[in-house]
Amino acid sequence: MSTPQRTDYPHFQPITTRWHDNDAYGHVNNVTYYSFFDTAVNTYLIQVGGLDIHDGDVVGFVVSSACDYFASIAFPDLIEIGLRVGKLGNSSVQYELAVFKVGENEACAAGRFVHVFVDRASNQPVPIPVRLREALERLVV
């Protein structure tokens, strides 16, 4: 896999690393990258797509995830998460994400995860709501 470049992503979410993100080896622990991805996606869904995480009828469940690592990051690095949509289905979306140090063009890590949108009450898949779909379509590559 080649290292993703900043120009591969249409949207960026700034993230501040925290002291407790570092592990005993002095770099951000691998599991923390998933938190960065989740934060970037959900910030976009709430701010741009109008997702109501508290009272909305539809919620997104993560059903698959993965991450590849290319270079370390550590507190107090300032980072940005590149976000794009690789696949947009009727009730699901595959996000493709990358972690960049501010000012750098090559990603430190790249990941992907799949959301399936479900009815909050029944947990059954439902079509992605129109406003949310429109927001996701802006990120399709």
Structural domains of the chain ordered from first start: 6-137 (3.10.129.10)
pLDDT of residue 119: 97
pLDDT of residue 109: 98
pLDDT of residue 131: 97
The pTM of the full predicted model, rounded to 2 decimals, is: 0.95
Mean pLDDT per 10-residue segment, the chain (141 residues): 93 96 94 96 97 95 97 97 98 98 98 97 97 98 91
pLDDT of residue 103: 95
pLDDT of residue 87: 98
- Kindly report the three-state secondary structure assignment for every residue of the chain: CCCCEHHHCCEEEEEECCHHHECCCCCECHHHHHHHHHHHHHHHHHHCCCCCCCCCCEEEEEEEEEEEECCCCCCCCEEEEEEEEEEECCCEEEEEEEEEECCCCECCEEEEEEEEEEECCCCCECCCCHHHHHHHHCCEC
pLDDT of residue 82: 98
pLDDT of residue 23: 93
